[in-house]
A and B are shown apart, each in its own frame.
Chain A
Amino acid sequence: MTTAFIADVRRCADIDQGHNGVLRLFAHSYGLQALLAYRLGRYLLRAGRSYYLWPLLLVCWPIYYVLSRCARVAYDIRLELSADIGPGFYVGHFGAIRVRRCRIGANCSIGQLTTISAAADGRGPVIGDRVWIGAHTQIVGPHRIGSDATVGAGSVIQGDIPERSLCLGNPAHLVRHNYNNRRILRLREAVAYPHHAHRDDLPLVSVIIPAYKAAAYIHETLESVFCQTYRNFEVILINDGSPDTEEFERAIAPHRDRIVYISQENRGPSAARNAGIRRARGEYLAFLDSDDVWYPTCLAAQIELALSRQPPCDLVYSDVLVYSDSRQHRRSISTTRGPRPSPEGGGRRMAKSHGGGIRYSEICPSIGPVTFESLLREDCQAPTSCTMVRRQAAISAGLFDENLRRAEDYDLWLRIAHRASNMAYAREVLGKNRVVPGSLSHDNMKMLEGLVDVLRKLSMSLNLSASERSALENKLAAAKAQVDLERGKASLLDGKYDQALASLRAAGSLLANTKLRLAQLGLKFAPRLTRAIVGAWLTGKR
């Protein structure tokens, strides 16, 4: 009785904030007074089984009687002893609340004018944990309401309600699957997500979200995390010295009690992610950028994939949808995202069917098994936001390189792959990657330079076999050529013809390409005309 009632009081204190002191809280919440009588009555029912407690009952039953009668006469709240109500029950307001002959799980809320009772045949409803039941609701008869369900105000339940759903209306019909009622229940995280609630054998996943200037998107991102069907996770949010910290903290305030929040001075995304990894407790690390979102099955699908291999995968990734909010950037997505902008313009196709976005696999398709070489050859490419890494593998590989500001994820994946790791990918689209103009990954030129830095560093630091070495050299040369090409384009448009010619020549030594050769020829004989043509061509492409 005491533990259940203490849970009730805690819950009530969480919801009716502003009453400091238990007595004041007790005086102001009518539901709590009724619950006290109810809990006492339930205790006495059980105590009646022991003979030595019978003298106590003689005193206490009249007390119960008076208390419950008071609650009934004064507030018309009737919590009858035939109901089995779990701990952390909250009764909102007062008036015509009837609860009898039913079973209610832990941490539920009900509103005023609600009837929960058995039908004439005596079979009552069974209500799961963490169910929110609105005002004016009637649940009469042997209906089952799943855990985490939400019953809207004024509903009349005439059938079973599945888990995590929202239902409304008379008769009640299902409105949404997978509805998150955490906020309206106002549960604390520790209560809301008992870890290992469903299956004890599933590993804990640490979701790591570095954030920089992300106040506008972070709410959506966090919502997408808390809507995951996979439940065993912790969220670590790192504020990387963002200039909009104040606004950002306001945006995350509703989630603040269920995330681990780290704030540090600006040291780039790698350092932020590393801070998160050091703080993580989970067996797996799932990376999510602050402007991206996951679909609800993301973690579940990736964990399933990772555990399906023997030994379990060190790294799994899946497809994401790359999209942009602004129309202008939507068209240039295919060339700006990812370490590899395809020289043939192969990623230029826009997939209209994916809601204005393009699948990452269309820009960087994944073919065959994931190894160090296939990552280098770009047969396989892992996006940052839908990649999950075993924590041990990331730590063994040496975490993210904090000197890099771009392509740092590619660097880590390569190092993990180099340790002969077990990696896999899913073809499903499990998330959305927002291209934000001005974000770190947006600038094509910088991205390529970052890639060159990564490859140079790896070729020096890793102990490579001959075939790996050649793959790396090829990739490095190609990346350098790309950089030269981009540089050439830029200096051509700026009117620096000599530099442009030199850059294009350097690029041309590797990229045997008619267009490039024509451009070189044009530059030699009619630089201004070429500039005009190239300028027009490039703007046309955008």
Chain B
Amino acid sequence: MNSAPVTVAQALERFVRQFAADARFYQGLTRAGPGSLVWTALRNRGLWLLTSHRIAHFCLRRRNVRSPVWWIARLCKSFGAGFNVLCCRSQFAEDCEIDGVAYLSNHGYLLCSALSIGSGSLIHDRCTFGHSVAAGRAGRPAIGKDVWIGPDCVIAGPLTLGDAATVLPGTVLTFSVPPRAVVKGNPARIVRMDFDNSQLRRSLNIVLDVATDNL
């Protein structure tokens, strides 16, 4: 767990880099004021959520009581947990791995205990990722890269959501989905294979349905 010690300056630099990358991603999606990263950072609650999750995750990974970086992060983290709930209306499991930039909804109501979320994913509001209790199979979902997840989705159970998959609004998903597939419905079913969702991921518009092919 504990890798090479970092100085405060290094950690801060890395943190700012990551934050800038996230903010740029958000900026591309939300089309905030002309070139103003600060404006983006202030406006997007999803970005706050993402940042505070990164801090909490950092604490978990670099558990080092002697390092001042860890202590600073730890303080930010305890502040961040309440902050997530009160301001972002969301809760994130600390050990969820977000490698790269991902968009989390500004509208909140996101309860995430996924194992991982891939880079370039778009997750809209009112989503729950967690255990599936009723089926008696404990386990958590792993979400791939470049995934588009619409609002009001439940993704529960030990499953893998493939890269570039699309989950349409209102889906209750309990099984693994191959890459580039489209799922829909409650209970979920795969309505289309090999769907290119890059168009969807370019904006925050919500699509309710996609053209299905015969499966």
A-to-B contact residues, CB < 8 Å: 30, 74-76, 93-96, 111-113, 132, 134-136, 150, 152-156, 166, 168-170, 181, 183-184
Contact = CB atoms under 8 A, between A and B. Distances in A.
Given A113-B109, A184-B134, 5 more contacts: A74-B86, A75-B85, A95-B90, A153-B128, A155-B186
B186 A113 contact: no
Contact of A154 (B89, B108, B186): B186
Contacts of B133: 134, 184
A134 B133 CA distance: 9
Contacts, number: 67
A74 B88 CA distance: 10
A136 B152 contact: yes
A467 to B, nearest CB: 56
B149 to A, nearest CB: 14
Nearest to A166: B134
B34 interface: no
Q: Does more than half of chain B's interface fall in helix, strand or loop, or is it mixed?
A: loop
Contacts of A155: 186
Contacts of B126: 96, 113, 136
A166 B154 CA distance: 18
Contacts of A170: 170, 172, 185-186
Interface in B56-98: 85-86, 89-91
Interface in B135-158: 136, 152, 154, 156
Interface in B88-140: 89-91, 108-109, 111, 126, 128, 132-134, 136
A183 B90 CA distance: 27
B33 interface: no
Interface of B: 85-86, 89-91, 108-109, 111, 126, 128, 132-134, 136, 152, 154, 156, 170, 172, 185-187
Contact of B109 (A95, A132, A184): A95
A94 B84 CA distance: 12
Contacts of A183: 136
A74 B82 CA distance: 10
A93 B111 contact: yes
Contacts of B170: 154, 170
Given A93-B91, A134-B134, A152-B134, A169 B109 contact: no
B175 to A, nearest CB: 13
Nearest to B108: A95
A292 to B, nearest CB: 22
B153 to A, nearest CB: 8
Nearest to B86: A74
A132 B134 CA distance: 9
Nearest to A30: B85
A94 B91 CA distance: 9
Q: 9 smallest A-B Cβ distances: which pairs? A: A154-B172, A170-B186, A184-B133, A95-B109, A153-B154, A154-B154, A154-B186, A135-B128, A74-B86
Given A136-B172, A155-B186, A170-B170, A95 B134 contact: no
